[in-house]
Amino acid sequence: MTLYVARHGETEFNRQRRFTGSIDAPLSETGLQQADELAQRLKSDGVHLDAIVSSSMRRALATAGVVADAYGLPVETADEFVERNMGVYEGLTFEECETRCPDMFERGASREWDDAPDGGETLRQLDERVLRGLERVLADHSGQDVLIVCHGGVVMMINKRLNNLDLEGMFNCKRDNCGVNAFQIA
């Protein structure tokens, strides 16, 4: 089984370097183009897909839909792969977070395992949720080649799980818009 994990295409929030989190932002024009390029790249690289699973958020669904059209496959949705709720940071740039929430920003609330911006989800909670979705996909699609289209935080957690990464290594994994990570699952 090969598991491909792709982040959705660009949104305006991504372009502006804002925390998007649980805000259901649509793809930008660039994001739509990136989704098309992702589908073309997968096809031209000879990637075989048996299934496509997507976060239920529209930026991921739109990206997955473009790939699904190219492959003639349906898109399955999985709420376990929605982006991390970033609480009071949502919609803010890094600079705005530092100015408006200096104590949280200074303690690294968004980057600590058991901490989160006020009203948000901890990394531990995200990890547990993503693990449930990953286990379900691996069980439901055993022996199949699957593409999961999700979000940067979810990509980090899947990489953490499948590559046994620590917290620092998790944050250093590749998670560009429409970037793809491939994992061979025995």
Residue 168 bears catalytic tag: no
Q: Which of 8, 80, 90, 151 is catalytic?
A: 8
Q: Which of 10, 80, 83, 90 is catalytic?
A: 83
Residue 151 bears catalytic tag: no
- With tokens 């911006």, the residue in question is 117
Q: How many other CB atoms are there within 10 angstroms of residue 129's CB atom?
A: 18
Residues with Cβ within 8 Å of 1's Cβ and at least 6 positions away in sequence, in order, are 138, 141, 142, 143, 144, 145, 146, 184, 185, 186
Angle at 82 between CA 59 and CA 58, to 5 degrees: 20
Strand-pairing partners, residue 149, are 6, 54
Catalytic residues, by residue number, are: 8, 83
